[in-house]
Amino acid sequence: MTIRAYTPADFDTVAAWAKARDMALIPQLLSPNGFLVEDDDGPLMVCFVYLVFDCPFVFMDHLFSRPNSSLKASLKAWAMIWRTTKTFLSNLRDCNGEPISYKFVRNFCRPELARLIKKDGWHLADRPSLQVIYAL
């Protein structure tokens, strides 16, 4: 498996994955900080990292894998995304070259993944949330 930056050319693939889960992606709402894992069959998993500049927190969103991918492959892809995200965050600098110190990462993911990544130190919310979007 390899990991690379998400590009707009990947949108149709990722949008199809979202649609397979009864979700929709809005291209204008995708962070420019996206990572895509590929295996021998092509794109496997994607995730976007959103930076918040007025508090020490980032969030990961739009974490999707190729429909019908195996649990083993998905876990391996997730591990690559999480490692890459931590490295990405540790290398961020402000305009003075000082490290930007993020303290928390929030991730919206399916319950199946949430249960599996709990062992990596993630804290699970005690109840599910629904995403709501309001267009101005």
Domain boundaries, the chain: 2-120
SS3 of 117, please? helix
| CATH for the stretch 2-120 | 3.40.630.30
Instruction: Give the pLDDT confidence score for residue 108 in this predicted structure.
Output: 75
Spatial distance between the Cα atoms of 102 and 100, rounded to a whole number of angstroms: 6
List, in sequence order, every beta strand (DSSP E) within 9-136: 34-39, 42-51, 57-65, 104-107
- Tell me which residues of the chain have a pLDDT lower than 70: 128-129, 131, 133-135
Instruction: Give the pLDDT confidence score for residue 97 in this predicted structure.
Output: 92
Two tokens at 71?
């649990």
Instruction: Give the pLDDT confidence score for residue 117 in this predicted structure.
Output: 80
Q: What is the pTM of this model?
A: 0.85
Taking only the tens place, the pLDDT of each residue in 6-35 is 999 999 999 999 999 888 899 999 999 999
Contact between 62 and 17 under an 8 Å Cβ cutoff? The reply is: no
